[in-house]
Amino acid sequence: QVQLVESGGGVVLPGTSLRLSCTASGFSFSDYPMHWVRQAPDKGLEWVAVLSYDGSDEFYADSVKGRFTISRDNSKKTLYLQMNSLKPDDTAVYYCARDPGPPGTLLWLLAFDIWGQGTMVTVSS
């Protein structure tokens, strides 16, 4: 079945780095733009970043620009989020999500039709 599974979360110190992974199954991963979305404890959803199906185009929320990098390995059906210079405000459940835009194009909808269950990242001293 169509599935996204995140991994790599944990407890880290402020200023350190962490890399999240998201492995896809049940659909043609290489055809779809992919996103990271996060939810801080007792807060709402916040979009983090998007990457085009071929990795050629990427955009970030202002809150993470310059610190986070989204990337993908289509041969491994895996999406990544490299998080550097982490702050306590980055504490959240991080979800990967598929964009339902036309497959194999750069026309993303910036919406999320398939989500993973999330991985928790805690930034604390």
Partner 1 sequence: FELTQPPSVSVSPGQTARISCSGDGLPKQFAYWYQVKPGQAPVMVVFKDTERPSGIPDRISGSSLGATVTLTITGVRAEDEADYYCQSAFTNDSYVVFGGGTKLTVL
Cβ proximity to partner 1, 23 vs 47, nearer residue: 47
Report the 10 Å Cβ neighbour count for 62: 6
Sites for partner 1 among residues 56-75 (CB under 8 A): 59, 61
Contact 70, 60 (CB under 8 A): yes
Distance CA 9, CA 124 (A): 13
Contact 21, 7 (CB under 8 A): yes
Rounded to 5 degrees, φ, ψ at 88 are: -55, -35
Contact 31, 104 (CB under 8 A): yes
Among residues 70, 118, 119, 121, the one that binds partner 1 under rule CB under 8 A? 118
Sites for partner 1 among residues 18-57 (CB under 8 A): 39, 44-47, 50
Distance CA 86, CA 104 (A): 33
* Per-residue contact string for residues 75-114; x = within reach of partner 1 by CB under 8 A: --------------------x-x--x------xxxxxxx-
How far apart are CB 123 and partner 1 at their closest, in Å?
21
Cβ proximity to partner 1, 20 vs 116, nearer residue: 116
How far apart are CB 4 and partner 1 at their closest, in Å?
8
The residues binding partner 1 (CB under 8 A) are 4, 39, 44-47, 50, 59, 61, 95, 97, 100, 107-113, 115-118
